[in-house]
Amino acid sequence: MNQEIQNRLKEIQDSAIAAIAAAGDEHSLFQLKSKYLGKKSEISDVLKSIAALSVDEKRSIGGLANTIKTELERVIDERADALLNSTGGVALNTALPGIKPLTGHLHPLTLTMRELKSVFIRMGFCIEEGPEVETDYYNFEALNTPPHHPARDMQDTFYLSPEILLRTHTSPVQVRVMKSQKPPIRAIMPGRVYRNEEVSARSYCLFHQIEGLYVDKGVSFADLKGTLDSFVKGYFGSSVKTKFRPSFFPFTEPSAEVDVQCFLCNAKGCPICKHTGWLEILGCGMVHPNVLRNGGIDPEEFSGFAFGMGVERIALLKYGIDDIRLFYENDLRVVSQF
Ligand code: DAH
């Protein structure tokens, strides 16, 4: 009996040593350690079966078991060292989850801008651009806003000199496009604009707009409504309704502002839409005859509509952000969420 048990212990030792030598990484070594030295190991099983033996026999088998355990611990440590050296000193634990590499991503404003542009491109608009440093003429005068016109107060302007300024809106690009193209003109004009306003959660000294212009023979207010309604359905969703409210801009007559049904509360009323169920998203109107003339287009022959929207405002609403400054601080905790 005694000899049999001793042989069994030696067999376990031999197979453990062979398995440890074959262990290819720390994880399998760890598993072998618990298999051969843990509470439920084969050695423990063997020791449980010696209860009936004499005290002397128990002592000699117990001593052998302890020697084997010590030996196995030593062999495991040796193998762990060997594995560590073979990985250049870096412990390799294949059970750990992998480290995901950080990848770059688009800024929420870029995403919003791209989505807005793609809706208009699908509707047949092309993209035009104009300068951010603009003349007073294009920013105001050509848009039917002469010096001292009260509408100039609607936009606080950064003047670089009495004649040169940072454009306050993308509308001046309308006149530049009219001067360089013949109707039919169907263009959107995205870009940065600047306002000398106090920075707050709702306004920032720079932001982005998308301007739109359509000039051809016989363009009517019905075309304007149809186009903007299609845009709203294409961007916000096919069931979202629009509402046109009369408004004033010097460069359009008549002028309107467009509201969309609040997509945050399904028009039921929430703090964002101030419980009205509607969100204002853009200004628009029929291009004023004076503006067509300044663009070199005969208002007797052609008519057109124009619109302009703030990209930040749409992005704030879309992503449920409550502070415009977050777009410009580039705090990775914020921008990496998109
Ligand atoms: N330029 C205006 C602004 O910044 C927005 C605007 C309103 C543009 C009506 C338009 C328009 O083209 O027709 O507030």
**Residue 250 Cβ contacting ligand 1 at under 6 Å:** no
Structure tokens at 30: 């760890």
Q: Are 157 and 168 in contact (CB under 8 A)?
A: yes
Instruction: State the distance from the centre of ligand 1 to the C-alpha of 257, rounded, in angstroms.
Output: 9
* Closest of 227, 240, 221 to residue 123, by C-alpha: 227
**Residue 191 Cβ contacting ligand 1 at under 6 Å:** no
pTM surpassing 0.85? Answer: no
**Backbone φ, ψ for residue 135 (5° rounding):** -90, 155
* SS3 letters across 291-303: HHHHCCCCCCCCE
Strand stretches in 139-295, DSSP E? 164-166, 185-194, 206-216, 242-249, 252-261, 278-287
**Residue 108 Cβ contacting ligand 1 at under 6 Å:** no
Q: Mean pLDDT in each 10-residue stretch from start to end of the chain (338 residues)? A: 81 86 83 85 81 82 86 86 73 80 88 96 97 97 91 85 96 98 97 94 94 98 97 93 96 97 87 89 98 98 98 90 90 84
- Spell out the residues 6+ positions from residue 260 whose beta carbon is closer than 8 angstroms to its own: 232, 236, 240, 241, 242, 243, 278, 279, 281
* Closest of 270, 230, 231, 228 to residue 245, by C-alpha: 228
**Residue 144 Cβ contacting ligand 1 at under 6 Å:** no
Q: Where are the domains of the chain?
A: 2-86, 108-335
User: Which protein residue has the closest C-alpha to ligand 1 atom 3?
Assistant: 169
**Residue 252 Cβ contacting ligand 1 at under 6 Å:** yes
Instruction: State the distance from the centre of ligand 1 to the C-alpha of 308, rounded, in angstroms.
Output: 4
Instruction: State the distance from the centre of ligand 1 to the C-alpha of 307, rounded, in angstroms.
Output: 6
Structure tokens at 270: 């929430």
Structure tokens at 293: 């003339």
Pocket test for ligand 1, best of 175, 203, 225, 251 (most atoms within 8 A of CB): 251
What is the reported pLDDT for 87?
Answer: 66
What is the reported pLDDT for 216?
Answer: 98
The CATH architecture assigned to 108-335 reads: 2-Layer Sandwich (3.30)
Kindly state the DSSP code that residue 182 receives in the 8-state scheme. P
Cβ atoms within 10 A of the Cβ of 196, count?
13
**Residue 327 Cβ contacting ligand 1 at under 6 Å:** no
**Residue 308 Cβ contacting ligand 1 at under 6 Å:** yes
What is the reported pLDDT for 89?
Answer: 63
H-type helices in the chain, by residue range? 2-22, 26-37, 42-48, 55-86, 108-122, 136-139, 172-180, 221-236, 289-294, 311-319, 326-329, 332-335
